[in-house]
Amino acid sequence: MLDTSIRFTQLANMVTNKVAELLYAPVLVTNNQGVVITSSQPEQIGLALSWETAERTLANCLRIPLHHETGVGEVIVGKPTNQEPISPRLAQALVELVINQSTTEKQAPNQHELKNQLIDNLLHGRISDEAVILNRAKSLGIDLTPPRAVILIDATDYVSRIDTSDRFVSAIEEERRIQIVINSIVSFFHLPNDTICANLGQGQVCVLKASDTKNLDLWADCNDISKGLGSSWANLTALKRAADALLLRLCSDLGTAINIGIGRYHPGIQGLARSYEDARAALSLGSRFLGQNRVHCLGELGIAAFIGVADESTKVDLAKFLLSPLDHEPELLTTLDMFFSESCCPSATAKRLSIHRNTLSYRLDKIVSLTGLEPRRFDDAVQMRLALLLRSLQSTLSN
């Protein structure tokens, strides 16, 4: 019933806009209770309009019945602004033409609906044939050739902040606000259109962001520790910077709190589903543990990522990512492992390694500079200890 009422209101909105444009006249549509649901004069929406009121508000107005599915109402056309009289027969024929055209358009899914459905299938791994998906995406203007990672925007506060008790009007307003969010994203990334953006419902918007070096050059830094890593973590730091800048734009444009989760790039079309899982986990855990109005990614969630992420392969990937700057520093890895084995006691660690405490301090400082994690601080130490254990376990299983 709700969907039917929404479709009736959407049809009424189309009729109002097109007829008002073609006849240069004020137009409104009422429902079967005489309440204005759409109008070329927005201040009238929601008012209960009696025929006497309509006569006073819209001089010499015409009344044309409107029926669609189970919806019943009236189209009321006022006096044209160019003062030329309107033939009632012409007005009725025009309204019927607009209704028929709008109904025909609604019978088949539009481009936006097909695009949203396709992206939703990609994100949830509902793919049977990659070649078919690529052709379908191409027909919708979506280029899946570049490597892409998922940016997941939670705009719930903005989309659901609607001051109306009319659930039908609310549904239409939510659609409008989602499109405003998408338009802001398109403008920020200088996209030609919104084909790589999708409305996922419940205030969330997804962006399939091209994540290769060329497309992230604006946010790249030659000192990124992610350089030289496998494809799963490549350019993640630059993508995080891009998302940080996007967050500032969205907060400015929308004037409300926004949360963003970003996923890693994973190879292939099916990799988009894994990237989405990364982004969704980062958004959920980050919002809960680190707060609102932030950009969240797995690499910066700390202990929460190891505890909250269920997928073991993702945890192993995260462990490798955190310690990857030490891959070519076996001495530092040995020092770190021994430091934890000795319960983070500097004197005991130095003794076991047969080095001076100053040398140990130097090595620990170097670990901090390379990884960004401080093994002498509890939270960082837990992350590094878990990372060492997961790496060791993975190595054992591989052998």
20 in Cβ contact with 26 (< 8 Å):
yes
Q: For position 353, what pLDDT does the model report?
A: 94
Is the pLDDT at 107 greater than 60? The verdict is no
Both structure tokens of 100? 């028929």
Dist CA 81 CA 326 (whole Å): 75
Nearest to 32 by CA among 55, 60, 61, 4: 4
- Higher per-residue pLDDT: 166 or 369: 369
Predicted TM-score (pTM) of the model is: 0.69
Q: For position 396, what pLDDT does the model report?
A: 64
Residue 356, classified by CB atoms within 10 Å of its CB into exposed (0-12), middle (13-18) or buried (19+), is exposed
Both structure tokens of 323? 């310690």
Of the ranges 84-88, 199-203, 310-314, 352-356, which one carries the lowest mean pLDDT score? 84-88
62 in Cβ contact with 91 (< 8 Å):
yes
- Higher per-residue pLDDT: 128 or 232: 128
Which residue matches tokens 């398109």? Answer: 186
Longest dimension (CA), the chain: 101
- Higher per-residue pLDDT: 196 or 164: 196
Q: For position 348, what pLDDT does the model report?
A: 94
Average pLDDT over residues 64-85: 77
The alpha carbons of the chain give a radius of gyration, in whole angstroms, of 29
* 238: confidence class by pLDDT, cuts 50, 70, 90: confident
Average pLDDT over residues 141-155: 92
Instruction: Give the residues across from 30 on adjacent strands.
Output: 36, 74
Neighbours of 233 (CB within 10 A): 21
Is the pLDDT at 266 greater than 50? The verdict is yes
Neighbours of 194 (CB within 10 A): 18
59-63, 204-208, 318-322, range with greatest mean pLDDT = 204-208
Of the ranges 94-103, 181-190, 247-256, 350-359, which one carries the lowest mean pLDDT score? 94-103
Q: For position 227, what pLDDT does the model report?
A: 46
Of the ranges 95-104, 159-168, 292-301, which one carries the lowest mean pLDDT score? 159-168
How many angstroms separate the first and last alpha carbons of the chain?
Answer: 60
Average pLDDT, whole number, for the chain?
Answer: 83
Is the pLDDT at 164 greater than 50? The verdict is yes
Q: For position 397, what pLDDT does the model report?
A: 61
384 in Cβ contact with 373 (< 8 Å):
yes
Q: For position 225, what pLDDT does the model report?
A: 45
List domains and CATH numbers for the chain: 2-107 (3.30.450.40), 111-301 (3.30.70), 322-398 (1.10.10.2840)
Q: Is 165 helix (H, G, I), strand (E, B) or coil?
A: coil
Is the pLDDT at 64 greater than 50? The verdict is yes
Share of the chain above pLDDT 70, in %: 84
Share of the chain above pLDDT 90, in %: 36
Of the ranges 5-9, 190-194, 276-280, 371-375, which one carries the lowest mean pLDDT score? 5-9
Q: What is the pLDDT of residues 302-328, one digit of tens each?
A: 888 888 888 888 888 889 889 989 999
CA distances from residue 242 to 14, 217, 246, 260 in whole angstroms, order as listed:
37, 10, 6, 11
Both structure tokens of 368? 């901090």
Q: For position 95, what pLDDT does the model report?
A: 77
Q: What is the pLDDT of residues 329-374, one digit of tens each?
A: 999 999 999 999 999 999 999 999 999 999 999 999 999 999 999 9
